[in-house]
Amino acid sequence: MKNNDSSMNFENKVIPEAILKEVQIALSHYPDLRETPIEFRFKKKIRKSFMQAQPKFSGLFKDKKNRSYLIMISESFHIENEEFQISEIPSEVLIGWIGHELGHIMDYQERSGLNLLLFGIKYLTSSGFIKEAERAADTFAVNHGMGNYILATKDFIINHAHLSQLYKDRIKRLYLSPDEILNLVEKLHFPEGQL
């Protein structure tokens, strides 16, 4: 497993120090993931999202128990024209976002290697499938007691986008993940050239 000076290496988790506290709180809601190797890694930029969870390809066809996962985290992210550095994002918002990503990993864990490959393809090609996958991740987070954090994450996005009150109310009512909300915001403001 790769490591560097600014990361803490636990038995099976690699966590950058800047988000150590938030990751620990989110992980405490998922005792099922205690044995699961997960690396949290900062990236300069992730296309169209702030965080992204995926299985490590090298372990894709290993026994499910031995599979390891990567959660990539963008060093900054945009909502409309505003750019946020990770240090400017409130703790509970980060915890909610990490909890959502851990929800994806819970979902991945049940799947075979082949199923995960198909999952990746469908995620790229079907917006209906994205919705399903995002709902699954949020549902895991909410069922693991992270509902308030998930709401904090959504509120943060909504309150930093220049949306009409009507639209904000609708988003809050609908069961949407942080990823979906960010995508909707982008679509509203940059309707051209979307998937």
Binding residue for Zn ion, selected from 179, 182, 183, 185, defined by CB under 5 A? 179
Question: Contacts for 186-191 with beta carbons within 8 Å, 24 or more apart?
Answer: 186/48, 188/163, 189/80
Q: Report the side by side order of strands in the sheet with 38-43.
A: 7-9, 13-16, 38-43, 69-74, 51-55
Output the smallest distance, CB 140 to Zn ion, in A: 11
Can residue 138 be called a binding residue for Zn ion (CB under 5 A)? Answer: no
Q: How many residues does the chain have?
A: 195
Element (H, E) at 7: strand 7-9
Phi, psi of 7 (to 5 degrees): -110, 150
Left if phi > 0, otherwise alpha if psi is -120 to 50, otherwise beta: which for 179? alpha
| CB closer to Zn ion, 22 vs 179 | 179
| CB closer to Zn ion, 14 vs 176 | 176
- Interface residues for Zn ion in 65-124 (CB under 5 A)? none
Output the smallest distance, CB 11 to Zn ion, in A: 26
Output the smallest distance, CB 133 to Zn ion, in A: 7
Contacts with Zn ion by CB under 5 A: the residue count is 3
| CB closer to Zn ion, 8 vs 56 | 56
| CB closer to Zn ion, 8 vs 120 | 120
Torsion of CA 169, 174, 178, 183, to 10 degrees: -80
- Interface residues for Zn ion in 17-46 (CB under 5 A)? none
Q: Which residues bind Zn ion (CB under 5 A)?
A: 134, 137, 179
